[in-house]
Chains A and B, each alone.
Chain A
Amino acid sequence: PVREPVLELTTPKLYSSVDAAANNTEFHAGTCGKGEPMQGIPVWFGGPSIRIRKVRLG
């Protein structure tokens, strides 16, 4: 086990590094918020476990 690895990537690099997706799709309920004024909207998000290759962790 490792403690608190840091992954810092750009979005294009993240998605282009995915080379496999598992069959364990999960979804979670959440709230997407904005300020001024504070407003939230219920959202639904999720997906499977994914594997990304050749990225550097800090």
Chain B
Amino acid sequence: MRKRGAYAGNSCLVRRPVNQNQESEARMSELSKAIIRECMKGKADDVVVGVETSENSQVKFSNNKIITTENSKSTNVMVFVSMKKRVVLTTIKDATMSAAVKSAKDLIKFAKTLPKNNDYRGIADGPFKYRKLNTEKLDFDSVSLKGIQSVKDAIKLASQKGAHRVAGIWEASKTRTELHSTGDVSAQDEGATFYFSMRAFTNEKSSGHSVCSATGLKELKIDSSVKEATDIAKQSRGAGTLEPGNYDVLFYPLAAANLADNAGHGTSIFAVESGMSFFAGKLGTKVASENFSMHDDATDESGIGSRRFDLEGVPTQNTPLIVNGILKNFLHNTSTAKKYRTKTNAHAGLVSPEPMNLIVDGGNVNKDSLISSMKRGLVVTNLWYTRFQNSATGDFSTVPRDGAFEVINGKLRPVKDIRVSDNLALMLMRVKQACNDSRWIIGWEVETPTKTPSLLIKDVRVTRSTG
């Protein structure tokens, strides 16, 4: 439920005393219970209420200047109700008691009008024990001020390293989640997320992009991101055209994460059932090269998708998805697991099970050494607008953005105006090498926090416009 960037509005920098925090937490607990009581009065069978309260801080910069700073607070209340297999899910933005109780009554009225979902098989039965919370104590006011200074330092560093202009964002969020259900679940979670993104330009056509994210402020490697973005921008000056054809392509982590995130979403049983996954019917079979392994692990607290429980309160776990090329698991919640006679792997999504913290196994090859050894190939640092022509088969295309480079005998030549037009299912089969540079990636094009190394994929079809 921890969504980066869930903004409800503006607020001044306000220091909240600790006792007000406790009062707020008690109120959210009472709100959840009141919603459940109201739904049960209306003859609901199962109810799950999740309340997420966030404090967010954002610093945006463009043309080497800070242009916006914003601090905001938001509260979102998720309510899931089933009534004789009539299933409905909504989010309430007004977290006052009267609005929440009214919304619960309206939800029950609406549920009665729905057709039955005969596939629905219930929610998790608690109570559960959860792993210990390791929450950094955050003074959000001082964090916001640190964000402004961090951005100023980043802009200065980028200029020193040769960027003519830079743009991007620094964000911090502190989120508290409270979950209650009629399955005897009562759970709390807290956490912080930090994110930095910079695009650096050395002229109008030469750019590099880098991101970093962390669950602790000290772990946010802004300087490394600044260096990477400016290095790529400098290298991509004077980009020329590239002949279309098949190339061995080294996808940097920002680009590889884009592909892995799309593959990860295909492991949701919802995607499989709705005809949106090229993994359908392939459980237990080879779906990737033996050099590719990926798991989803919301217990890994270095990833900003980490959480103690899923959206029905089941404690999160490490779920192997693809191991040495073999598809091991689909993502399930309690209801879908019962349908498929297996156990939930704590990926609710009460409607659609979802990945939370995707991790692609790294290798032991240095990226620069790998490039030096390439006789002919391509380096792609970023991908944008990855879209499927057919999700069920895996046919898709995506646009290399920012620096892209042809490799000839280990040397880089910048190129532009190319597109990767291939089949993602087949590309996974052609993963030749994973490097040793794994990093966490999140962003506009990478919805799930994804930790991935650079990946070398053979024979990737690269096209360019025909006019």
Contacts and interface: CB of A to CB of B under 8 A. Distances in A.
B465 A13 contact: yes
A42 interface: no
- Is chain A's interface secondary structure helix, strand, loop, or mixed overall? loop
A58 B463 contact: yes
A32 interface: no
A19 to B, nearest CB: 14
Interface in B1-35: 5, 7
B57 to A, nearest CB: 11
B464 interface: yes
Nearest to B397: A6
B325 interface: no
Contact of B444 (A10, A14, A36): A36
A33 to B, nearest CB: 9
B345 interface: no
A35 B445 CA distance: 9
Interface residues of B, number: 20
Contact of A9 (B5, B7, B397, B467): B467
Contacts of A37: 5, 7, 58, 171
A9 B419 CA distance: 11
Given A35-B444, A55-B466, A55-B467, A6 B421 contact: yes
Given A8-B466, A9-B467, A13-B465, A36 B397 contact: no
A44 B231 CA distance: 40
Of B5, B171, B389, B465, most A-chain CB atoms within 10 Å: B465
A32 to B, nearest CB: 14
Interface string A7-20: 01110011001000
A12 to B, nearest CB: 8
Contacts of A17: 467
B169 A56 contact: no
A4 B395 contact: yes
A55 B171 CA distance: 44
Given A6-B389, A37-B7, 8 more contacts: A4-B395, A9-B466, A10-B465, A13-B465, A13-B466, A35-B444, A36-B58, A55-B466
Interface of B: 5, 7, 58, 60, 169, 171, 197, 389-390, 395, 397, 419, 421, 443-444, 463-467
